[in-house]
Structure 1
Amino acid sequence: MTQYLLGQGKVYIAARDAAGKPKAQRWLGDVSAAKVGLKATKADLKESYSGQRSTVKSIVVGKEATFDMTLQEVSKDNLALALSGKPTSLVSGSVTGEVLPLALVAGDRVSLKYPKVSSVVITDSATPSVTLDPAKYDVDADFGAITFKDVAGVTQPLKVAYTHAPLESVSMFTAQQSEVFIRYEGINLAEGGTPIVVELYKVNTEPLKDLALITDKYADMAISSAVLIDSSKPADDEIGQFGRIIQVAQT
Protein backbone atom coordinates (compact mmCIF):
# COMPACT_ATOMS: atom_id res chain seq x y z
CA MET A 1 0.00 0.00 0.00
CA THR A 2 1.40 3.40 -1.02
CA GLN A 3 1.51 6.18 1.52
CA TYR A 4 2.49 9.82 1.07
CA LEU A 5 3.05 12.76 3.38
CA LEU A 6 1.88 16.34 2.97
CA GLY A 7 1.85 17.86 6.41
CA GLN A 8 0.56 20.83 8.34
CA GLY A 9 0.18 21.16 12.06
CA LYS A 10 1.27 22.65 15.35
CA VAL A 11 4.71 22.58 16.98
CA TYR A 12 4.88 22.60 20.78
CA ILE A 13 7.90 23.20 23.01
CA ALA A 14 8.43 22.34 26.67
CA ALA A 15 11.15 22.56 29.26
CA ARG A 16 12.45 19.23 30.64
CA ASP A 17 12.50 18.34 34.30
CA ALA A 18 15.43 16.72 36.11
CA ALA A 19 14.26 13.27 35.00
CA GLY A 20 14.07 14.31 31.34
CA LYS A 21 10.27 14.44 31.21
CA PRO A 22 8.59 17.37 29.45
CA LYS A 23 6.83 20.01 31.52
CA ALA A 24 3.83 22.03 30.29
CA GLN A 25 3.95 22.52 26.53
CA ARG A 26 3.67 25.86 24.72
CA TRP A 27 2.40 26.19 21.16
CA LEU A 28 4.87 28.13 19.03
CA GLY A 29 2.11 29.57 16.87
CA ASP A 30 2.30 29.59 13.09
CA VAL A 31 5.32 27.54 12.00
CA SER A 32 5.66 27.70 8.21
CA ALA A 33 8.35 25.02 7.89
CA ALA A 34 9.63 22.18 10.05
CA LYS A 35 11.91 19.29 9.17
CA VAL A 36 13.92 16.55 10.83
CA GLY A 37 17.31 15.52 9.48
CA LEU A 38 19.33 12.38 10.24
CA LYS A 39 22.99 11.72 9.55
CA ALA A 40 25.19 8.70 10.15
CA THR A 41 28.97 9.04 10.40
CA LYS A 42 30.76 6.03 8.97
CA ALA A 43 34.21 4.53 9.17
CA ASP A 44 35.11 3.13 5.75
CA LEU A 45 37.87 0.69 4.86
CA LYS A 46 39.21 0.65 1.32
CA GLU A 47 41.07 -2.30 -0.15
CA SER A 48 44.64 -1.94 -1.45
CA TYR A 49 44.93 -4.78 -3.94
CA SER A 50 42.75 -4.02 -6.99
CA GLY A 51 44.02 -0.59 -7.95
CA GLN A 52 40.51 0.85 -7.51
CA ARG A 53 40.59 1.55 -3.77
CA SER A 54 37.08 0.14 -3.46
CA THR A 55 35.23 0.20 -0.15
CA VAL A 56 35.22 -3.26 1.44
CA LYS A 57 33.89 -2.37 4.89
CA SER A 58 31.69 0.41 6.23
CA ILE A 59 30.37 0.69 9.77
CA VAL A 60 28.38 3.39 11.52
CA VAL A 61 30.42 5.08 14.26
CA GLY A 62 28.20 8.07 14.98
CA LYS A 63 24.60 9.25 14.70
CA GLU A 64 23.31 12.81 14.48
CA ALA A 65 19.86 14.33 14.21
CA THR A 66 18.73 17.89 13.55
CA PHE A 67 15.47 19.79 13.67
CA ASP A 68 14.93 23.00 11.72
CA MET A 69 11.85 25.19 11.87
CA THR A 70 10.70 28.62 10.73
CA LEU A 71 8.58 30.63 13.16
CA GLN A 72 6.18 33.16 11.67
CA GLU A 73 4.94 34.58 14.98
CA VAL A 74 7.41 37.06 16.46
CA SER A 75 5.96 36.86 19.96
CA LYS A 76 7.84 37.75 23.13
CA ASP A 77 8.37 34.11 24.08
CA ASN A 78 9.39 33.10 20.56
CA LEU A 79 11.88 35.96 20.43
CA ALA A 80 13.35 34.81 23.73
CA LEU A 81 13.83 31.34 22.24
CA ALA A 82 15.36 32.72 19.04
CA LEU A 83 17.64 35.28 20.73
CA SER A 84 18.78 33.12 23.66
CA GLY A 85 17.36 35.90 25.77
CA LYS A 86 14.95 36.60 28.56
CA PRO A 87 11.57 38.31 28.22
CA THR A 88 10.69 41.19 30.50
CA SER A 89 7.34 42.86 31.09
CA LEU A 90 7.34 46.37 32.54
CA VAL A 91 4.32 48.11 34.00
CA SER A 92 3.84 51.79 33.32
CA GLY A 93 6.20 53.87 35.40
CA SER A 94 8.12 57.07 35.80
CA VAL A 95 11.78 57.99 35.38
CA THR A 96 13.56 60.91 37.01
CA GLY A 97 17.05 62.27 36.52
CA GLU A 98 17.93 60.32 33.35
CA VAL A 99 21.20 61.94 32.26
CA LEU A 100 21.66 62.82 28.59
CA PRO A 101 25.01 62.88 26.71
CA LEU A 102 27.30 65.86 27.11
CA ALA A 103 28.03 68.51 24.50
CA LEU A 104 24.60 68.48 22.86
CA VAL A 105 24.00 71.09 20.18
CA ALA A 106 21.00 72.24 18.22
CA GLY A 107 19.84 69.51 15.84
CA ASP A 108 21.04 66.60 17.98
CA ARG A 109 18.68 63.69 18.57
CA VAL A 110 18.98 61.45 21.64
CA SER A 111 16.97 58.42 22.72
CA LEU A 112 15.64 57.71 26.20
CA LYS A 113 15.86 54.40 28.03
CA TYR A 114 12.19 53.66 27.35
CA PRO A 115 9.85 54.44 24.42
CA LYS A 116 6.17 55.43 24.51
CA VAL A 117 6.78 58.39 26.83
CA SER A 118 4.71 61.27 28.13
CA SER A 119 5.01 64.18 30.59
CA VAL A 120 8.58 64.91 29.52
CA VAL A 121 10.44 67.55 31.57
CA ILE A 122 14.07 68.49 30.90
CA THR A 123 16.27 70.31 33.42
CA ASP A 124 19.90 71.34 33.29
CA SER A 125 22.75 70.87 35.80
CA ALA A 126 22.86 74.42 37.14
CA THR A 127 22.38 75.16 40.84
CA PRO A 128 19.51 75.72 41.16
CA SER A 129 18.50 73.78 38.05
CA VAL A 130 16.70 75.45 35.16
CA THR A 131 13.77 73.80 33.36
CA LEU A 132 14.08 73.94 29.58
CA ASP A 133 11.29 75.60 27.64
CA PRO A 134 9.45 72.80 25.73
CA ALA A 135 9.63 75.02 22.65
CA LYS A 136 13.38 74.30 22.55
CA TYR A 137 13.00 70.60 21.78
CA ASP A 138 10.71 68.10 20.08
CA VAL A 139 9.66 64.82 21.67
CA ASP A 140 9.00 61.68 19.61
CA ALA A 141 6.71 60.07 22.18
CA ASP A 142 6.28 56.71 20.45
CA PHE A 143 10.00 56.03 20.11
CA GLY A 144 11.16 57.88 23.21
CA ALA A 145 13.49 60.32 21.46
CA ILE A 146 14.23 64.02 21.81
CA THR A 147 15.50 66.41 19.13
CA PHE A 148 16.94 69.69 20.42
CA LYS A 149 16.32 72.95 18.62
CA ASP A 150 18.13 75.28 21.03
CA VAL A 151 20.50 74.51 23.92
CA ALA A 152 22.06 77.94 24.29
CA GLY A 153 22.62 79.11 27.87
CA VAL A 154 21.98 75.77 29.60
CA THR A 155 24.37 73.84 31.81
CA GLN A 156 24.99 70.30 30.57
CA PRO A 157 24.49 67.44 31.10
CA LEU A 158 20.74 67.75 30.77
CA LYS A 159 18.44 65.52 32.79
CA VAL A 160 15.05 64.15 31.82
CA ALA A 161 12.00 63.11 33.80
CA TYR A 162 9.10 61.32 32.08
CA THR A 163 6.53 58.56 32.33
CA HIS A 164 6.30 55.52 30.06
CA ALA A 165 3.58 53.08 29.06
CA PRO A 166 3.63 49.33 29.83
CA LEU A 167 6.39 47.70 27.78
CA GLU A 168 7.69 44.28 26.82
CA SER A 169 11.29 43.60 25.89
CA VAL A 170 13.56 40.66 25.09
CA SER A 171 17.31 40.79 25.72
CA MET A 172 19.89 39.01 23.56
CA PHE A 173 22.27 36.29 24.78
CA THR A 174 21.24 36.60 28.42
CA ALA A 175 19.90 33.05 28.86
CA GLN A 176 21.74 29.76 28.79
CA GLN A 177 20.87 27.49 25.89
CA SER A 178 18.53 24.94 27.41
CA GLU A 179 17.56 21.47 26.30
CA VAL A 180 13.88 21.30 25.42
CA PHE A 181 11.25 18.82 24.32
CA ILE A 182 9.63 19.31 20.89
CA ARG A 183 6.31 17.79 19.84
CA TYR A 184 4.70 18.13 16.41
CA GLU A 185 1.00 17.39 16.12
CA GLY A 186 0.14 17.36 12.46
CA ILE A 187 -2.34 16.19 9.89
CA ASN A 188 -1.31 14.32 6.75
CA LEU A 189 -3.25 16.00 3.96
CA ALA A 190 -2.04 13.37 1.48
CA GLU A 191 -3.82 10.64 3.44
CA GLY A 192 -7.18 12.17 4.26
CA GLY A 193 -5.98 14.32 7.16
CA THR A 194 -4.86 11.42 9.34
CA PRO A 195 -2.96 12.53 12.46
CA ILE A 196 0.80 12.28 12.75
CA VAL A 197 2.87 12.96 15.87
CA VAL A 198 6.62 13.60 16.05
CA GLU A 199 8.37 13.72 19.41
CA LEU A 200 11.97 14.86 19.89
CA TYR A 201 13.02 14.25 23.45
CA LYS A 202 16.12 16.40 23.94
CA VAL A 203 16.62 19.34 21.61
CA ASN A 204 19.29 22.04 21.84
CA THR A 205 18.23 25.11 19.87
CA GLU A 206 20.66 27.56 18.28
CA PRO A 207 20.11 31.33 18.08
CA LEU A 208 18.45 32.46 14.88
CA LYS A 209 20.73 33.39 12.02
CA ASP A 210 18.95 36.63 11.15
CA LEU A 211 15.79 38.62 11.67
CA ALA A 212 14.80 40.84 8.75
CA LEU A 213 14.06 44.32 10.09
CA ILE A 214 13.61 46.12 6.75
CA THR A 215 12.01 43.94 4.08
CA ASP A 216 9.09 43.76 1.69
CA LYS A 217 8.04 40.37 3.10
CA TYR A 218 6.76 39.21 6.45
CA ALA A 219 9.66 38.62 8.81
CA ASP A 220 10.22 35.10 10.12
CA MET A 221 12.69 33.36 12.40
CA ALA A 222 14.57 30.30 11.13
CA ILE A 223 15.92 28.24 14.02
CA SER A 224 18.23 25.25 13.72
CA SER A 225 18.55 22.66 16.47
CA ALA A 226 20.57 19.62 17.39
CA VAL A 227 18.58 16.61 18.57
CA LEU A 228 20.63 14.98 21.33
CA ILE A 229 20.49 11.44 22.63
CA ASP A 230 18.32 11.14 25.72
CA SER A 231 19.78 8.46 27.94
CA SER A 232 16.73 8.61 30.22
CA LYS A 233 14.72 6.89 27.48
CA PRO A 234 14.90 3.14 26.80
CA ALA A 235 16.95 2.12 23.77
CA ASP A 236 14.12 0.03 22.36
CA ASP A 237 12.37 -0.10 19.02
CA GLU A 238 9.20 1.70 20.15
CA ILE A 239 10.54 4.73 22.05
CA GLY A 240 14.19 5.10 21.05
CA GLN A 241 16.52 7.66 22.57
CA PHE A 242 16.28 10.48 20.02
CA GLY A 243 12.60 10.65 19.14
CA ARG A 244 9.80 8.89 17.34
CA ILE A 245 7.14 9.37 14.67
CA ILE A 246 3.66 8.10 15.44
CA GLN A 247 0.98 7.74 12.79
CA VAL A 248 -2.31 5.96 12.48
CA ALA A 249 -1.91 2.48 10.97
CA GLN A 250 -3.40 2.18 7.49
CA THR A 251 -6.13 -0.48 7.19
Structure 2
Amino acid sequence: MAEMKDFSFQGPIYLGDNVNGMAQKLRWVGDQSSLNFAIDAQFEERKENYTGLRTTSVRLKQSVAVNPEMVLRYITPENILLGVHGKLSKKLAGTATAEEFPLALVAGELVLLKSGNVTNLVLTDSKTPTATTLVEGTHYSIESSISGMVKILDVSTLTQPIKAAYSYGGSTNVSMMTAATPPVKYLYMEAINTVDGRRARVHLYKVQFNPLASLPLTNENLADFTLNGTCLADANNRLDDDLGPFGRIEWLDEVT
Protein backbone atom coordinates (compact mmCIF):
# COMPACT_ATOMS: atom_id res chain seq x y z
CA MET A 1 0.00 0.00 0.00
CA ALA A 2 1.35 3.43 -0.93
CA GLU A 3 1.74 5.69 2.11
CA MET A 4 -0.16 8.91 2.59
CA LYS A 5 2.33 11.74 3.06
CA ASP A 6 1.25 15.28 2.25
CA PHE A 7 -2.38 15.75 3.16
CA SER A 8 -5.30 18.13 3.10
CA PHE A 9 -8.47 16.39 4.16
CA GLN A 10 -12.07 17.11 3.33
CA GLY A 11 -15.13 14.90 3.44
CA PRO A 12 -18.67 14.49 4.74
CA ILE A 13 -19.29 14.15 8.47
CA TYR A 14 -22.21 12.18 9.87
CA LEU A 15 -23.68 11.94 13.36
CA GLY A 16 -25.85 9.10 14.58
CA ASP A 17 -26.76 6.92 17.52
CA ASN A 18 -24.37 4.43 19.07
CA VAL A 19 -26.24 1.16 19.43
CA ASN A 20 -24.10 -1.61 20.91
CA GLY A 21 -20.98 0.03 19.52
CA MET A 22 -22.35 0.41 15.99
CA ALA A 23 -23.51 3.56 14.19
CA GLN A 24 -27.22 3.82 13.44
CA LYS A 25 -29.51 6.56 12.07
CA LEU A 26 -26.60 8.52 10.65
CA ARG A 27 -27.33 12.11 9.54
CA TRP A 28 -25.08 14.30 7.38
CA VAL A 29 -24.33 17.50 9.32
CA GLY A 30 -23.90 19.53 6.13
CA ASP A 31 -20.93 21.61 5.10
CA GLN A 32 -18.26 22.20 7.73
CA SER A 33 -14.93 23.96 7.81
CA SER A 34 -12.97 21.73 10.16
CA LEU A 35 -12.91 18.66 12.37
CA ASN A 36 -10.05 18.31 14.83
CA PHE A 37 -9.42 16.29 17.92
CA ALA A 38 -6.81 16.51 20.64
CA ILE A 39 -5.60 13.71 22.88
CA ASP A 40 -4.98 14.80 26.45
CA ALA A 41 -3.10 12.43 28.76
CA GLN A 42 -2.58 13.28 32.43
CA PHE A 43 0.42 11.83 34.30
CA GLU A 44 1.65 11.71 37.86
CA GLU A 45 5.42 12.10 37.98
CA ARG A 46 7.86 11.22 40.75
CA LYS A 47 11.22 12.90 41.17
CA GLU A 48 14.04 10.82 42.59
CA ASN A 49 16.02 12.04 45.60
CA TYR A 50 19.28 10.15 45.28
CA THR A 51 21.26 11.88 42.49
CA GLY A 52 20.94 15.48 43.58
CA LEU A 53 19.33 16.33 40.21
CA ARG A 54 15.72 15.44 41.06
CA THR A 55 15.19 13.77 37.69
CA THR A 56 11.93 12.07 36.78
CA SER A 57 12.14 8.46 37.83
CA VAL A 58 8.65 7.27 36.93
CA ARG A 59 5.49 8.50 35.21
CA LEU A 60 2.09 7.04 36.03
CA LYS A 61 -0.66 7.63 33.49
CA GLN A 62 -3.76 8.75 35.37
CA SER A 63 -6.23 9.56 32.60
CA VAL A 64 -6.65 9.85 28.85
CA ALA A 65 -9.18 12.06 27.04
CA VAL A 66 -10.00 12.57 23.38
CA ASN A 67 -11.58 15.99 22.74
CA PRO A 68 -13.01 16.73 19.28
CA GLU A 69 -13.80 20.18 17.88
CA MET A 70 -16.10 20.59 14.87
CA VAL A 71 -16.91 23.85 13.08
CA LEU A 72 -20.26 23.65 11.29
CA ARG A 73 -21.55 25.90 8.52
CA TYR A 74 -25.14 24.61 8.35
CA ILE A 75 -27.44 26.07 11.00
CA THR A 76 -30.12 23.37 11.02
CA PRO A 77 -32.37 22.66 14.03
CA GLU A 78 -30.60 19.30 14.49
CA ASN A 79 -27.15 20.92 14.48
CA ILE A 80 -28.13 23.66 16.92
CA LEU A 81 -29.70 21.07 19.21
CA LEU A 82 -26.25 19.52 19.75
CA GLY A 83 -24.98 22.71 21.39
CA VAL A 84 -28.03 23.93 23.32
CA HIS A 85 -28.87 20.61 25.02
CA GLY A 86 -32.58 20.96 24.40
CA LYS A 87 -35.38 19.16 22.62
CA LEU A 88 -36.91 19.35 19.15
CA SER A 89 -40.65 19.70 18.82
CA LYS A 90 -42.68 20.11 15.64
CA LYS A 91 -45.61 22.53 15.59
CA LEU A 92 -48.01 21.96 12.73
CA ALA A 93 -49.77 24.77 10.90
CA GLY A 94 -53.15 25.62 12.40
CA THR A 95 -55.48 28.32 13.65
CA ALA A 96 -55.83 30.30 16.85
CA THR A 97 -59.12 31.61 18.26
CA ALA A 98 -59.70 34.09 21.08
CA GLU A 99 -55.98 34.45 21.89
CA GLU A 100 -55.95 37.23 24.48
CA PHE A 101 -53.58 40.19 24.33
CA PRO A 102 -52.07 41.58 27.56
CA LEU A 103 -54.27 43.97 29.53
CA ALA A 104 -53.88 47.74 29.79
CA LEU A 105 -52.47 48.19 26.29
CA VAL A 106 -51.87 51.75 25.10
CA ALA A 107 -51.22 53.26 21.68
CA GLY A 108 -47.76 52.48 20.31
CA GLU A 109 -47.30 49.14 22.08
CA LEU A 110 -46.16 46.06 20.18
CA VAL A 111 -47.82 42.72 20.83
CA LEU A 112 -46.21 39.42 19.82
CA LEU A 113 -48.63 36.61 18.98
CA LYS A 114 -47.93 33.08 20.18
CA SER A 115 -47.27 31.86 16.63
CA GLY A 116 -45.57 33.20 13.50
CA ASN A 117 -46.26 33.27 9.75
CA VAL A 118 -49.64 34.81 10.47
CA THR A 119 -52.47 35.20 7.94
CA ASN A 120 -56.19 36.03 8.14
CA LEU A 121 -55.79 38.04 11.35
CA VAL A 122 -59.00 39.27 12.97
CA LEU A 123 -58.96 41.24 16.23
CA THR A 124 -61.96 41.84 18.46
CA ASP A 125 -62.38 43.46 21.85
CA SER A 126 -64.24 42.10 24.91
CA LYS A 127 -67.27 44.37 24.76
CA THR A 128 -70.54 42.65 25.68
CA PRO A 129 -73.00 41.69 24.44
CA THR A 130 -71.47 42.46 21.03
CA ALA A 131 -67.70 42.64 20.55
CA THR A 132 -66.15 45.33 18.38
CA THR A 133 -64.08 44.16 15.42
CA LEU A 134 -60.88 46.19 15.23
CA VAL A 135 -60.08 48.01 11.98
CA GLU A 136 -56.58 47.65 10.55
CA GLY A 137 -55.04 51.08 10.08
CA THR A 138 -57.31 52.60 12.73
CA HIS A 139 -57.00 50.41 15.81
CA TYR A 140 -53.91 48.41 14.90
CA SER A 141 -51.34 47.68 12.21
CA ILE A 142 -49.46 44.51 11.35
CA GLU A 143 -45.83 45.22 12.15
CA SER A 144 -44.62 41.83 10.89
CA SER A 145 -46.73 38.89 9.70
CA ILE A 146 -43.64 36.66 9.88
CA SER A 147 -43.14 37.42 13.57
CA GLY A 148 -46.82 37.71 14.32
CA MET A 149 -46.24 41.22 15.68
CA VAL A 150 -49.10 43.72 15.97
CA LYS A 151 -48.79 47.43 16.74
CA ILE A 152 -51.58 49.04 18.77
CA LEU A 153 -52.75 52.36 17.29
CA ASP A 154 -55.90 53.32 19.24
CA VAL A 155 -57.72 51.50 22.04
CA SER A 156 -59.57 54.47 23.50
CA THR A 157 -63.03 53.12 22.56
CA LEU A 158 -62.26 49.44 23.06
CA THR A 159 -62.87 47.05 25.94
CA GLN A 160 -59.76 45.06 26.81
CA PRO A 161 -58.49 42.40 26.60
CA ILE A 162 -58.27 42.33 22.83
CA LYS A 163 -58.60 38.87 21.29
CA ALA A 164 -56.96 37.50 18.14
CA ALA A 165 -58.07 34.87 15.65
CA TYR A 166 -55.68 33.91 12.87
CA SER A 167 -53.99 31.16 10.86
CA TYR A 168 -50.33 30.35 11.44
CA GLY A 169 -47.62 28.36 9.73
CA GLY A 170 -45.79 25.31 11.05
CA SER A 171 -42.46 25.49 12.84
CA THR A 172 -39.73 23.44 14.44
CA ASN A 173 -38.88 24.51 17.97
CA VAL A 174 -35.50 24.01 19.62
CA SER A 175 -35.65 24.44 23.38
CA MET A 176 -32.52 25.34 25.34
CA MET A 177 -31.00 23.39 28.24
CA THR A 178 -34.05 21.15 28.75
CA ALA A 179 -32.48 17.75 27.96
CA ALA A 180 -31.84 15.54 30.96
CA THR A 181 -28.33 14.68 29.73
CA PRO A 182 -25.97 16.21 27.14
CA PRO A 183 -26.28 14.63 23.67
CA VAL A 184 -23.99 11.70 22.87
CA LYS A 185 -23.46 10.88 19.19
CA TYR A 186 -21.49 8.46 17.02
CA LEU A 187 -19.35 10.62 14.74
CA TYR A 188 -18.23 9.26 11.38
CA MET A 189 -16.24 10.99 8.63
CA GLU A 190 -15.31 9.77 5.17
CA ALA A 191 -12.00 11.58 4.83
CA ILE A 192 -10.68 12.43 1.36
CA ASN A 193 -7.04 13.42 0.99
CA THR A 194 -7.34 16.08 -1.71
CA VAL A 195 -3.60 15.80 -2.43
CA ASP A 196 -3.70 12.26 -3.80
CA GLY A 197 -7.35 11.17 -3.59
CA ARG A 198 -6.78 8.49 -0.96
CA ARG A 199 -9.60 7.74 1.48
CA ALA A 200 -9.89 7.05 5.18
CA ARG A 201 -12.76 6.30 7.54
CA VAL A 202 -12.77 8.14 10.88
CA HIS A 203 -14.86 6.84 13.79
CA LEU A 204 -15.46 8.50 17.16
CA TYR A 205 -17.83 6.16 18.95
CA LYS A 206 -19.42 8.32 21.64
CA VAL A 207 -18.98 12.09 21.48
CA GLN A 208 -20.66 14.04 24.26
CA PHE A 209 -21.07 17.65 23.19
CA ASN A 210 -20.52 20.66 25.44
CA PRO A 211 -22.91 23.63 25.50
CA LEU A 212 -22.17 26.21 22.82
CA ALA A 213 -19.70 28.88 23.90
CA SER A 214 -21.28 31.26 21.38
CA LEU A 215 -23.75 31.26 18.50
CA PRO A 216 -23.39 34.14 16.02
CA LEU A 217 -26.91 35.32 15.19
CA THR A 218 -26.01 38.69 13.64
CA ASN A 219 -23.18 38.76 11.10
CA GLU A 220 -21.61 40.92 8.44
CA ASN A 221 -20.09 37.86 6.77
CA LEU A 222 -20.87 34.17 6.31
CA ALA A 223 -21.00 32.56 9.75
CA ASP A 224 -20.28 29.21 11.36
CA PHE A 225 -20.31 27.85 14.90
CA THR A 226 -18.05 25.57 16.90
CA LEU A 227 -19.04 22.42 18.76
CA ASN A 228 -16.62 21.00 21.30
CA GLY A 229 -16.98 17.70 23.05
CA THR A 230 -15.39 14.78 24.83
CA CYS A 231 -15.21 11.18 23.69
CA LEU A 232 -16.68 8.72 26.16
CA ALA A 233 -15.28 5.21 26.35
CA ASP A 234 -17.39 2.72 24.43
CA ALA A 235 -17.78 -0.49 26.42
CA ASN A 236 -18.59 -2.47 23.27
CA ASN A 237 -15.31 -1.64 21.53
CA ARG A 238 -12.87 -1.02 24.40
CA LEU A 239 -11.85 -4.65 24.86
CA ASP A 240 -10.79 -5.02 21.21
CA ASP A 241 -7.27 -3.63 20.70
CA ASP A 242 -8.01 -3.20 17.00
CA LEU A 243 -10.95 -0.90 17.80
CA GLY A 244 -10.07 0.85 21.07
CA PRO A 245 -12.34 2.63 23.55
CA PHE A 246 -12.68 6.04 21.87
CA GLY A 247 -12.42 5.64 18.11
CA ARG A 248 -10.22 4.67 15.21
CA ILE A 249 -8.92 5.83 11.82
CA GLU A 250 -9.09 3.33 8.97
CA TRP A 251 -6.67 4.01 6.11
CA LEU A 252 -8.31 2.38 3.09
CA ASP A 253 -6.24 0.44 0.60
CA GLU A 254 -6.47 1.52 -3.01
CA VAL A 255 -8.89 -0.54 -5.03
CA THR A 256 -7.16 -2.12 -8.03
Please report the TM-score for the alignment, with normalisation by the length of structure 2: 0.90
How many residues end up aligned between the 2 structures? 249
Paired residue type of 2:78: D
Aligned to 1:6: 8
**2:69 aligned residue:** 68
Q: Secondary structure at the match of 2:182?
A: coil
Q: Once the 2 structures are TM-superposed, how far is the Cα of residue 245 of structure 1 from its aligned partner?
A: 0.6
Is the contact between residue 67 and residue 224 of structure 1 (CA under 8 Å) also seen in structure 2?
yes
Q: Deviations over 1:44-76 (max 9, x none)?
A: 001234554332211211111111101101112
Which residue in the other structure is 1:187 paired with? Answer: 192
For the 8 Å contact 2:4–2:198, the answer to whether it is kept is: no
Moved more, 117-126 or 6-15: 117-126
Residue 147 of structure 1 corresponds to 151
Same amino acid, percent of matched pairs: 33
2:240 is matched with 236
**1:43 CA drift (Å):** 0.6
- What does residue range 1-251 of structure 1 map to in structure 2 within 5 Å? 3-17=5-19, 19-50=20-51, 52-128=53-129, 129-135=131-137, 136-139=139-142, 140-175=144-179, 176-190=181-195, 192-249=196-253
1:2 to partner: Cα distance: 7.0
Q: Residue type of the partner of 2:140?
A: Y
> Which amino acid is 2:108 matched to?
G
Q: How far did residue 83 of structure 1 move? A: 2.0
The range that moved more, 153-162 or 103-112, is 153-162
Q: Over the residues paired in the alignment, what is the CA RMSD in angstroms?
A: 2.0
Deviations 1:16-61 (CA, angstroms, capped at 9, x unpaired): 22x3332121111101110011011101001234554332211211
TM-score normalised by L of structure 1? 0.91
Could you tell me which runs of 5 or more consecutive residues in structure 1 were left unpaired when the two chains were aligned: none
Instruction: Describe the superposition over 1:177-217 as per-residue Cα deviations: whole angstroms up to 9, x where unpaired.
Output: 23221111110123x11001110111111222211111112
